Amino acid sequence: MATPSSNEVTELLLAWNSGEETALEKLMPLVYDELRRLARNYMSGERQGHVLQTTALVNEAYLRLIDSSRVQWQNRAHFFAVSCQLMRRVLVDFARSRNYQKRGGGALQVSLHDVVVGSTERPIDFVALDDALTSLAATDERSSRVVELRFFGGLSIEETAEALKISPETVKRDWNWAKVWLLREISKT
């Protein structure tokens, strides 16, 4: 299937905002492959045999998306930024419910360096990373969003800049600063 244009996705999002019921039905086939790519990116750090699979993550995020009628969609980048945030929430909620954090809970600690490099030898402790991102957001909300979009969403520097309406240079600066900050926070635990 050909990649849909950014304008096509944006038009459908705006139609969905306006209450056009068929817009969501037309939108989902256009964005499904990209949502699966994002979900695979999230799941790549999980242990093998993880109960939650890529398709289930996409489906759960989809259910939360259609339930988020309060969102006033701006464009394609905004849609994928919200989708990244929802997938992160699904995985963190799942990890919390499985008691991964409680006194170690069997989850291995992983450094942000391992996460960013893409090491799949150990599972990502999404709860520890979420806690660190929450702390980062209290210090620097924009840098936290940059990490969320770049790491979890797999967005490029340019796509992240578009989603956050900032320059690519600012994204690079925030990304580099946030990686160091998060590595320090995660290593404390």
pLDDT tens digits, residue range 108-140?
444 455 545 444 444 567 788 888 989 999 999
Our separate counts of H helices and E strands in the chain read: 9, 0
C-alpha R_g of the chain: 17
The pLDDT, as a whole number, for residue 99 is: 56
Report which of residues 123 and 84 the model is more confident about. 84
In the chain, where are the structural domains located?
6-188
Evaluate if residue 168 carries a pLDDT over 90: yes
Q: Who's near 117: CB < 8 A, 6+ residues apart?
A: none
**Of 155 and 50, which is predicted with more confidence?**
155
* Model pLDDT, residue 171: 96
Per DSSP, 75 falls in state -
Contact 43, 50 (CB under 8 A): yes
CA separation for the pair 3, 130 (Å, rounded): 31
Which is it for the CA torsion 62, 64, 69, 75, positive or negative?
A: negative
Predicted pLDDT of residue 119: 46
